[in-house]
Amino acid sequence: MDLLAAHRSAVSQFDARVGAIHDSQWGSATPDTQWDVRDLVNHLVSEQLWVPPLMAGRTIGEVGDQFDGDVLGDDPRAEWATASAGAVGALAEPGAVDRTVHLSFGDTTAADYIGQLTLDLTVHAWDLARAIGYQEEMPNDLVAVILETAKGFADRWEGGEIFAPPIPVPGCTDDLTELLALLGRRR
């Protein structure tokens, strides 16, 4: 599975879970203890809103604070649909994968940025599934790609606050369990 296909698959996984949220579940706890369901969805909507301007070459400073705070408004599902479609569209532009993206920590390749986006979508799709009692399994081809991506980024996260510390899973042969453990989650 190539990087863009993985991103589209991760968007689809998150989309299915957003569609399954019952109105009473927006305040439910998630495995990411700093966020409830609404906060988690808000994080992913905001992240997708950043994609078009960043892929167009804009800097964090140029975009400013327009995606800060609550970007869900009164219709979180519609905001997710709009933001994710915009991100998928921006990444599908000819030559998008070969661009340079200006992130808060400096310039990076679009391929690395897409990998980060896809990783975040995948792990938070699992978080959302766990929070709302939805099917937690995901396509293994997506999980296998994201596990390799996560292994490539793991050394950058050491001591940071992006994910909880890894949980050892010696002898693990299940990609989803290994991915979740690498990101500090128990299946």
Name the H helices within the chain.
3-19, 37-55, 60-63, 76-91, 110-132, 140-157, 175-182
- For 45, other C-beta atoms within 10 Å of its C-beta total 24
From CA 182, how far away is CA 58, in angstroms rounded?
32
* Residue 20 pLDDT > 80: yes
pLDDT at 156: 58
* Residue 13 pLDDT > 60: yes
* Residue 158 pLDDT > 70: no
Distances (CA, A) of 31 to 13, 125, 161: 17, 11, 15
* Residue 153 pLDDT > 80: no
Give 152 or 183, the one with higher predicted confidence.
183
* Residue 4 pLDDT > 60: yes
Report the pLDDT averaged over residues 73-101: 97
* Residue 167 pLDDT > 60: yes
pLDDT at 76: 98
Under DSSP, the state recorded for 70 is -
From CA 124, how far away is CA 27, in angstroms rounded?
16
* Residue 157 pLDDT > 90: no
pLDDT at 154: 65
* Residue 135 pLDDT > 60: yes
From CA 128, how far away is CA 36, in angstroms rounded?
9
Q: Are 54 and 166 in contact (CB under 8 A)?
A: no
Q: Are 2 and 118 in contact (CB under 8 A)?
A: no
- Using a pLDDT cut of 90, give the percent of the chain over it: 76
Tokens for 134, please give them: 């939805």
pLDDT at 164: 74
Confidence of residue 183 (pLDDT cuts 50, 70, 90): confident
Residues 26-70 pLDDT 10s: 999 999 888 999 999 999 999 999 999 999 999 999 998 989 999
H or E stretch at 107: strand 106-109
* Residue 159 pLDDT > 60: no
Predicted model pTM: 0.91
Report the pLDDT averaged over residues 139-160: 79
